[in-house]
Each structure stands twice: as C-alpha cells, then as structure tokens.
Structure 1
Amino acid sequence: MFLVLAVLSGCAGEPVRTPATYVVRPDDTLYSIAWRNHLDYRQLAAWNGIGRDYRIVVGERLRLHPPAYRQGTPRPAPPRIRRWAGKSTAPRLGTRVVPAAPAAARSAVAAALRWRWPTRHAGPVHRLVNGALLIHGMEGQIVRAAAAGRVVYTGRGIPGFGLLVIIKHSTHVLSAYAYNAAVTVSDGQRVAAGTPIARMGVNAKGTPMLYFEIRADGRTIDPLPYLP
C-alpha cells in the first residue's frame, strides 16, 4: 500500500470557519451538526441546554461557541485507542511502533475499542494533513464499520462528504465514512466491527474511494497507529 501526504482542494476535511450559530435542518442530528462544524457533540449540547437524549428540532438555532468563549483555551487530549487484534483487511503501511500508555492513563472506553480497516484498497491510500484517509478502491465494494458502535447519522447534509455515515463508538470517539454510493444501515442501528454499512462511491472527480476519519472529543486523530 502506498501512503501519500496530501492536501486536496475542496475535499472533505478541509478546514472551515465555524459560524456563530446554526439553524437545524431536516435530517440533521446533533452529531452531524457537531461533525460539520468540528465540535464535540457534548459541548454543543451543553452550550445549548440540550438534554442527554440529544434531541433537536428543525428550525431551532444552535449556538456554535460557548457563551464565554476565550481563544487559546486548550481542549482536552483525545483518549488513547488500542489496536484491533483481528486479521487485517489491508496491508500494513510499513512498521509502526505505538507507545503503550500507562495503565492508569487508559480510560475504560478507549481500552474497549478494537479497530480494523473499513474497506479493502485497490490503489494508494492518501493521508490528509488532518489525519483522515482517502482509501482508493472499486466502486460498489463493501465499506465496513471500523469498530463496534451505533450509527448516529446517515445522509448527504454535510457539504463535501457526499453520502455519509457517522458511527459513535464511545462517549468520546466517532468515525465517519464518506463518498458512499449507498448506505446499508440506518440511524440508531448498532453495528459490530466489520459489519457492512455502505457501498463505496466516488468523489467529486469521479474517482472511486472512501473518505475515512476518526474524531476524539471533536478533533480528528490519525487512524494509522490503530489500524492493523
């Protein structure tokens, strides 16, 4: 497998300026709004007085910044994630050494996660500077959940991602699968690692590929250290 560092103009994952507010649209979920604006869904809920059911209403205007926002305030570090112990569905990208975290520093949630490649590759894997991956393949091939979790969004409501699936793996960690031709799961569905969730589609240029991203506490993290 080839690994290429790249910044693709106009692609999903490109940095965007977060507006002050957002008006809820049909088919939005709190998770998709947070993802669209690079926020932690829990913070978004807290800033808007939303309960733990995370229910939102079409037409509701949501605050996208804390009431007393101060620039430069550090965000919490993302949780550590253990490597998935199963068989790889894609070759390794060379030898990588992942430092073991002290036992006291591992959260119970992070320790429970096991990751796998979300699809087979048929060409290079491009890693964007934010850590997200573009995995080339064949149009229509199966896209699978990279870890166990619950589907929290399916749809086309986020510009640049096409038909998108977002899976919540824990309180802290979510993953996204974009450029799909079709989705085979529904919102709220629980999935195991390896469960088929979609069929690979094409990007805006017509190239078959999967956009794959992991976020922890609203921040994109590099998936490569955790993929077998």
Structure 2
Amino acid sequence: MSFFRRANALFFIFIVNISLSSCSSRDTPAPVTNIHSTSVLTEHNRNSIQSSQYFVKKGETLYSIAWRSNSDVRKIAQLNNISAPYNIYPGQKLFLTEHKVKRTAKASKNKAQHKKQTKSSTVSRKNRTKNSLASTKKQAYGENVNSKKSRQNSVLTADKSTSNFSQKISRWQWPVKGKVVEYFSNSTQGNKGIDIVGRRGTKIRSSAQGKVVYAGDALRGYGKLIIIKHNDDYLSAYAHNDRILVKEKQQINRGDVISTMGDTDANKVMLHFEIRFRGKSVNPLNYLPKNQ
C-alpha cells in the first residue's frame, strides 16, 4: 500500500508542476514586432544633403538640390555665381554654405601692391583741377552716364520678367481630397509635410499658380516628384506620384492636373505634400483651406 501511496503522491506533484509551467508560459508576453518601422520616411531617409559642398548628378536641377539641402535656391545661386534660369551640369561643384577662399603668399603680395597704388592714386587725386572736381559732383566716380542708363534699363527688364513671381499667392487649394495620415513636424527627423492617402490614379492638382522647376525621380525617398515655384518665396512639392503629367519650365494654373497618385518609393498609395517658404519647410495646414 505504501508503494501505491508514494506513486500517487509523485504523480500528483508531477501534474501540479505541469499546470504551473503552463500558466507561467501563458503569462509571458509575445515578442513585440514593430509593424510601423517603415511607414514614415524621415528627411534623412529622403536623402537630404548635409554637406557644405555637392557635386551635381545627372537629372538634378538647382531647385532639387536646394530642396534636399533645405536651402533657398537664390542663396545657393549667389554662393556659386549662378544667374537665372540657374542652369547647372553633371559633375559641377556647388557650395551650399559660406566658404572662405585660402589666401596665398602671392595674393598677399598683390594686396600690398594694391595698397601702395591706392596711396599713390590718392595723392594724385588731390592735384586735380577744379573743373574735374566739379564734374565728379555731377557724375558718380567710376561710372559713366551710358553705363548707368543701361543698368537702369536692365533692372526694369528684370523686374518685368520676374513680375509673375513677385505677386502674393491669393489662395491655396488642396492638391487632392483624402485622409491625412501623417502630419507636419518641426523635429529634425520629422515629417516635413503632410501625407494624404487615396486610390492609385487619383488626379493630383497644383495648389497654386506657378512654374514647374523639377519633375523626375532622382530624389531618393520622394519617388516621382514634382516641385512648383509659385513666386520668389514659395515652392510646393508633390511626391510618390504614379504618373507625372507636366514638364519642367511649364507654366501652370491653380487646380491644373499635374500627376496621378501612386506609391513610388513609398509603402502605400499616397501623396506626400510639402510647402517651402524661402527654402524652409512650413506646415501646409497653415495655408490650405480648412475644408478640402
């Protein structure tokens, strides 16, 4: 009898251990899987430029480079002595920030000679006649009348040619109707625009009048991208398109169809929409109407 009692006791202990082990395993949480790890592309993933200089690649424009470096295109153009319409070529070296030119011994020598010549010319100018002094009062030193008139004419021409881009944007419109799933963020790695989901092939429209300054797929993370210049201060961008229906340098009006919605370089069909003011990202919802 004692043998059977001992056997029953051991069997009971075995059953209790199994039950406790089962309960313990059920209380252990399952491994966590981040299903959103690739849902949002940060500015770093969108191949932003962080360096102080850059070599132009095929298919890029000065506007697309300014976009990636979060800079004003006019600033980059000024740093590199590039005039409108800002033509660049593959392999060209661009400075994206202020740079200092190294002074050589020869440059220092030339500077010393220049100071000496300046001193001599200053002494000689004191010996000028009264007539020459009178003439300088009527006419700015180092400038002739013809060059002054020509410069005034060139300024008037430039103002006339750029008048279309100096006007204030009267009204913005939504590029497409749909649910906003990602909002603007001011953080360094945050979303620099808004993401609107929809169906593939849905028409995307320009938010305001302007000129297409980039249309292509050379910017990683944006897919097929369109950048529109609205005036000297504002740009807008439309990313992840399925089809691009406009060309660079094309003039467009607010509401014109420019592309169709897609998922190029994205994990779902959507439009990534941005607005830049003087090269800096701003919240599109501060400009778009409250109602779509």
Which residue does the alignment assign to 2:168? 111
Aligned with residue 42 of structure 1, among 74, 78, 96: 74
Deviation (angstroms), 1:162: 0.5
Query: In the TM superposition, what whole-angstrom CA distance separates every residue of 1:39-86 from its partner, at most 9, and x where no partner exists?
Result: 100000001111122111221010111125xxxxxxxxxxxxxxxxxx
Aligned with residue 128 of structure 1, among 175, 184, 187: 184
Aligned-pair identity (%): 37
Deviation (angstroms), 1:128: 2.9
Distance in structure 2 (CA, Å) of the matches to 1:120 and 1:191: 20
| Other structure's SS at 1:34 match | helix
Distance 1:134-1:59 versus aligned 2 partners, 3 A rule: same
Distance in structure 2 (CA, Å) of the matches to 1:211 and 1:118: 10
Distance in structure 2 (CA, Å) of the matches to 1:155 and 1:204: 13
**What TM-score results when the alignment is normalised by the length of structure 1?**
0.74
Q: Unmatched 5+ residue regions in structure 1?
A: 1-6, 69-107
Distance in structure 1 (CA, Å) of the matches to 2:284 and 2:40: 21
* Larger helix proportion of the pair: 2
Q: Which amino acid aligns with 1:175?
A: S
Q: Is the 8 A contact 1:10 1:160 kept in 2?
A: no
**Residue 174 of structure 1 pairs with residue 230 of structure 2:** no
Q: Is the 8 A contact 2:206 2:257 kept in 1?
A: yes
| Other structure's SS at 2:201 match | coil
Which residue does the alignment assign to 2:199? 138
| Other structure's SS at 2:78 match | helix
Distance 1:44-1:163 versus aligned 2 partners, 3 A rule: same
Distance in structure 1 (CA, Å) of the matches to 2:53 and 2:181: 35
| Structure 1 residues 54-203: aligned runs within 5 Å | 54-67=86-99, 109=166, 111-121=168-178, 123-130=179-186, 131-202=192-263
Distance 1:145-1:205 versus aligned 2 partners, 3 A rule: closer
Deviation (angstroms), 1:114: 1.6
Q: Is the 8 A contact 1:202 1:208 kept in 2?
A: yes
Deviation (angstroms), 1:201: 0.6
| Other structure's SS at 2:168 match | helix
Q: Which amino acid aligns with 2:176?
A: T
| Other structure's SS at 1:227 match | coil
Distance 1:53-1:146 versus aligned 2 partners, 3 A rule: same
**What TM-score results when the alignment is normalised by the length of structure 2?**
0.58
Cα RMSD of the aligned pairs, angstroms, is: 2.3
Distance in structure 1 (CA, Å) of the matches to 2:171 and 2:42: 25
| Other structure's SS at 1:128 match | coil
Distance in structure 1 (CA, Å) of the matches to 2:285 and 2:167: 16
Distance in structure 2 (CA, Å) of the matches to 1:27 and 1:203: 17
Q: Is the 8 A contact 1:18 1:64 kept in 2?
A: no
Q: Which amino acid aligns with 1:127?
A: Y
| Structure 1 residues 213-228: aligned runs within 5 Å | 213-228=274-289
Distance in structure 2 (CA, Å) of the matches to 1:63 and 1:178: 26
